[in-house]
Amino acid sequence: MSLEGVTPSLLAHRLGVHLTEGGANVAVYAGHATAVDLCLFDDEDTETRIPLFGPKAGVWHAFVPGIAEGQKYGFRANGPWQPKKGHRYNPAKLLMDPYARGFAGEVTPMNAPGASALLSNRDGTDTAPLMPRSVVTVEPGGSWQTPHPRIAWEDAVVYELHVKGFTQQMEAVPEELRGTYC
């Protein structure tokens, strides 16, 4: 894929990769990044990096022609390495799209050879061979937008939990599925 035709996205407010006529609008939030690349992978797992425009209110974005359903991708981000401030930018680390609706590949177990490269560290080990890929999907019903809840932030409660620990002992979950995402 060439960089010809890559332009700023008109829909940078819509995060994720969204198919449109002739390609896709791409947008990802990386508020302290100094550069973000969209990384496209072909059937031979060859990586093509496409620099995104931005940031605009922390969002990096582009319209990328030629992207179609099934395209495998990830992101790489440059920026400060300041762990005490929560900034751990390292372009050697392939990142999955937090807004992706599809994934392909296996998660590398932490006891696998070379898996220590997945840890948040500053080394230059490329993690692409160890990471699953985000996959471009067609949006169900033509739109994946969901309405925002009409709850003030001060009244909102956000839960975070560990799926394995939460479902491991749940009798309502079939035994073979306990402790998994399936």
Predicted confidence (pLDDT) per residue in 86-142, tens digit:
888 999 999 999 999 899 998 777 777 777 776 767 888 888 998 999 999 987 655
Range of the domain at 29: 16-148
Distances (CA, A) of 45 to 19, 130, 153, 180: 21, 12, 42, 27
**73 domain residue, yes or no:** yes
pLDDT digits (tens, 9 = 90+) for 59-93: 999 999 999 999 999 999 999 998 888 888 999 99
Q: Is residue 11 part of a domain?
A: no
Total number of domains in the chain: 1
Q: What would the pLDDT profile of 11-68 be if each residue is shown by its tens digit?
A: 656 899 999 999 999 999 999 999 999 999 999 999 999 999 999 889 999 999 999 9
Q: pTM, whole model, 2 decimals?
A: 0.72
Q: How far does the chain reach from its first CA to its final CA, in angstroms?
A: 34
Identify whether the C-beta of residue 116 lies closer than 8 Å to the C-beta of residue 109: no
Question: What per-residue confidence (pLDDT) applies to 72?
Answer: 97
User: Considering the domain boundaries, does residue 1 fall inside one?
Assistant: no
CATH number for the domain including 38? 2.60.40.10
Which whole-number Å values give the CA distances from 8 to 26, 38, 60, 101, in the listed order?
Answer: 9, 13, 9, 22
Residue 129 lies in a domain: yes
In a domain, 26, yes or no: yes
Per-residue DSSP letter, 149: P
